[in-house]
Amino acid sequence: MECDYGVKDEYQAIESRRGWQPLFTEIREKSANFSIAESKKVANRDLNRYRDVNPFDHSRVVLRRGNCSYINASLVKVQAVERTYILTQGPLPSTVSHFWTMVWEQNCKIIAMLNNTIEKNQVKCHTYWPVGTHTNNMLTFEDVQLTVELVEEEHKQNYILRTLRLVDLDNEEVRLVRQYHYTTWPDFGVPTTPSDFIQYLQDIRNTGGLGPGTEEEPIGPAIVHCSAGIGRSGTFCIVDTALVNVKELLLEMRRYRMGLIQTAEQLRFSYLSIIEGAE
C-alpha cells in the first residue's frame, strides 16, 4: 500500500490540537445532500434497515431481474484511484434475494463484510449465505432464479473467508464469489490496532478482486457492507484508497452514499491505518 507521508503530517497536526471531533463535524456539515425519493416510496420503506440511512437516487444500484428494482445500496466511485465500490446495508430477511441479484448483475467477485450478524444483543444483519455443508450448504432463490452454494469456509485470525458458488438457473452460468467476513470490529467503534485490519485489507487487495480487472475479464465493484453500510464500510473505502487529503476524499465519497464514517474515532482510525499501511 502506498501513501504520501502528508497524511502523517496531517494526522499529527489534528492529533496535537485534539481536532478530530471538529473535523468530523465540518465534514458532516459540508456533506452533499441529494434526493432520496426512491427509498421513501411506500413499497420500499420496509426494505431499509434504518429509517435515516437511505441511498441517493442518483447513485443507487438498480436491480433488473425479479419484481423489485430497489435495494439500499450505492455505487461509490473514486476516480483518482480507479476504484468503484458498492456500499450497502446488511441484508434483511426480505432482501437476501435482492442482495444476491445485485452480486450477480454487477459481476461482483468480493464481498467485504465488516460486522457480525448479532452485536450488543441486536440483529445487525441477516445470515444471507449458506451456513453449513451437505443439506445446508445451498440457498435457492426462485424469484430471481439464482442459487448460492457454500464451497469452502476458512477461519483466519480476524476474519472468515467463505468461497461461494453462484448459479444462474436460467442459463446454468456459474461464478465464484469470495466473502471476507471481518469478525472483530465493534459497531460505531474501531479495531484495537490498525495492523489486523491492514492485513485483512491487504489479503483482499492481493486477490485482485477490488477491480477493475482487464478488458478481456472485467471485474465488477467490490461489495462492502456492515449493518448500515456507512460507518465501518466508509472506513474500509477511505483506507483502501489511501489518499493524502482524506477530508476531501470523504466529502467526495459522501456524494454517493450518505453518512460515510459515523464517528470522529473512525475518522482518526482511518488516518492511523493509512499511515501504518504505508510504513
User: 3-class SS at 97?
Assistant: helix
What is the end-to-end Cα distance of the chain in Å, rounded?
9
Rounded Cα–Cα distance for residues 275 and 239 (Å): 9
**With contact defined as beta carbons under 8 Å apart, do 220 and 210 qualify?**
no
In a 13 Å sphere around the CA of 58, the CA atoms on its Cβ side amount to: 10
What Cα–Cα distance (Å) separates residue 145 from each residue in 129, 130, 184? 16, 16, 34
Of 3, 125, 226, 237, the active-site residue reads: 226
Task: Extract the C-alpha cell encoding 128.
Answer: 444471507
Rounded Cα–Cα distance for residues 187 and 155 (Å): 21
In the annotation, is 226 catalytic?
yes
Residue type, 258: M
Residues annotated as catalytic are: 226
